[in-house]
Amino acid sequence: MSRPVTVSFADIEAAAGRLKGHAVETPLVESPALNERLGGRILLKLETLQRVGAFKFRGAYNRLVQLTPDERKRGVVAFSSGNHAQGVALAAKLLGMPALIVMPSDAPAMKVANTRGYGAEIRLYDRLSESREAIAAEIAESRGAVVVPAFDDPHIIAGQGTAGLEMAAQAKAMGAAFDLVVAPASGGGLIAGVAVAIKTLSPRTEVWAVEPTGFDDLALSLRAGERVTLKPTGRSLCDALESPAPGVINFPMLAKTLAGAVDVTDAEVADAMRYAFSTLKLVVEPGGVAGLAALLAGKIATEGKTVGVILSGGNVDPRLFAQVLRGEL
């Protein structure tokens, strides 16, 4: 019987070596106003300032840079509503290989435009009537291209985990030790990698996942002790966090490392986006602000604690952002 695929601390360190000089070492910042409001020391990891405006570049580059010369020639295919699409597109451009991205026709216009701007070919699909996985598999077979998953891949997870590696080193340099680390979760690529990095360096630190209400498949899976797949009945403001199930590779890792998972409503996410903009002077997309939303809504206790929060992306559609700022959402 083969051993289950997993990601080690050494894998994340190796990914950090590959990303050095290519990914941005994003800042870890502190706001006195936020500390005062939450009664703790809150350190924000600004992956909004990563290349492509989201953490996804880390995993995409770590995956693509390990492809063979022959695989690079044949190119890659990925499916994503936006940030993974942009990460794969830019990584492919930097490494000189073709990329095709399967994107939903209702994906944020800015994410589609940015992905195309990095040189990728785009195939739009209807998320209600078509399967993005089936489309990607068909394209990959016809072109001999490599499919690059958004989260269910050890190289992707290891790449995302480098954000946790950086956070730990940055906090130490600030004289801080995390009691909690909080990050958004969709399929679980980011938080699985980050949890391995953080728990290896600081076993006492609790790692918490945050999901959109109605897409709490990770919380349900943790309670059930096995992967649970949802059948969503609607959409979330957090378009980047709508995976119906945690990844096959990701879930066993998360079951071992997470303290728990909480969910946030669209209203709580919108409140957090307004707070980030008005008080912190940060532009954060809905999915990217989920961790902060959980703290501001009191879903995770922060009083007297040092908390690391990953703001995972800043690619928000301008019209949607204007609606949020006006209080219309």
Q: State the catalytic residues.
A: 56, 312
Structure tokens at 139: 């394209």
Task: Give strand pairing partners of 307.
Answer: 42, 180
| CA neighbor of 10 nearest in space, from 237, 201, 285, 268 | 201
Q: Give Cβ neighbours of residue 19 (< 8 Å, ≥ 6 apart).
A: 58, 61, 62, 159, 162
Whole-Å CA distances, 5 to 14, 145, 190, 249, 251: 17, 22, 16, 6, 11
Q: How many CB atoms lie within 10 A of CB 120?
A: 24
Q: What is the torsional sign of CA 225, 229, 234, 239?
A: positive
What phi and psi, each to the nearest 5 degrees, are found at residue 263?
Answer: -120, 155
* Whole-number Å distance between alpha carbons of 151 and 92: 17
* Coarse DSSP helix, strand, coil percentages of the chain, rounded to the nearest 5 percent: 45, 15, 35
| CA neighbor of 6 nearest in space, from 173, 195, 230, 132 | 195
Cβ pair 88, 58 in contact under 8 A: no
Angle at 262 between CA 30 and CA 237, to 5 degrees: 80
Cβ pair 261, 211 in contact under 8 A: yes
Cβ pair 276, 175 in contact under 8 A: no
